[in-house]
Copies of this chain bind each other. A is one copy, B any other.
Amino acid sequence: MSTSYKRLDKDNAAVLMVDHQAGLLSLVRDIDPDRFKNNVLALADLAKYFKLPTILTTSFETGPNGPLVPELKALFPQAPYIARPGQINAWDNEDFVKAIKATGKKQLIIAGVVTEVCVAFPALSALAEGFDVFVVTDASGTFNELTRESAWNRMTAQGAQLMTWFGLACELHRDWRNDVEGLATLFSNHIPDYRNLMTSYSTLANSK
């Protein structure tokens, strides 16, 4: 009795980055700030690398929640950018949903701050409309681990799949031979241990 493997396909996936705003980031305490910053930028870099349609959205960015993290804005200058006037669930914003549907993709990769709201609400809405949802757990943050676990539980009960940015990159890439250097650069920039392996390797290999 086989089960289905909903496998990420780079031609059918879009990335939603929800509310990675300078103020809201100070609420994130379930992941260390250095690691979290790296994870968010790694996700952005991989979206860029795989040329996945990417949609940015913010909540009340002129208030205490603060502006979108500038690095994200800079990486995706052409991306749809929906500054929501009030809707907490991004899916309640018509422009956001329109932008998603305009991509024509059925696999939605979602990350955001905070996990149980900015990620979970649109994830549950998307699942209810038949999309496949992949939550990027390490590029989503919240108040503490108890909250995170509650949010994961609620989302996965409805079929969301939990992934981290490294797994995403590997599943999208499929085969190193598609571009060894590109993927290696992505890993080297965002995984210190991998960078060290590459440094030792290339130094020794080049010393021959």
Q: Which residues of A contact B (CB under 8 A)?
A: 1-5, 7, 22-23, 25-27, 29, 31-38, 59-60, 62-67, 69-70, 85-89, 92, 114, 116-117, 120-121, 124-125, 127-130, 137-138, 143-144, 146-147, 149-154, 156-159, 161-164, 166-167, 170-171, 173-178, 180, 191-194, 196-205, 207-208
B164 x A147 contact (CB < 8 A): yes
B177 x A85 contact (CB < 8 A): yes
A162-B150, A201-B200 known; A127 vs B92 contact (CB < 8 Å): no
A167 vs B125: C-alpha distance in the bound complex, in angstroms? 15
B38 x A34 contact (CB < 8 A): yes
What is the copy number of this chain in the assembly? Answer: 8
- Complex A-B, nearest 3 residue pairs according to Cβ-Cβ distance, in ascending order: A86-B177, A150-B162, A64-B201
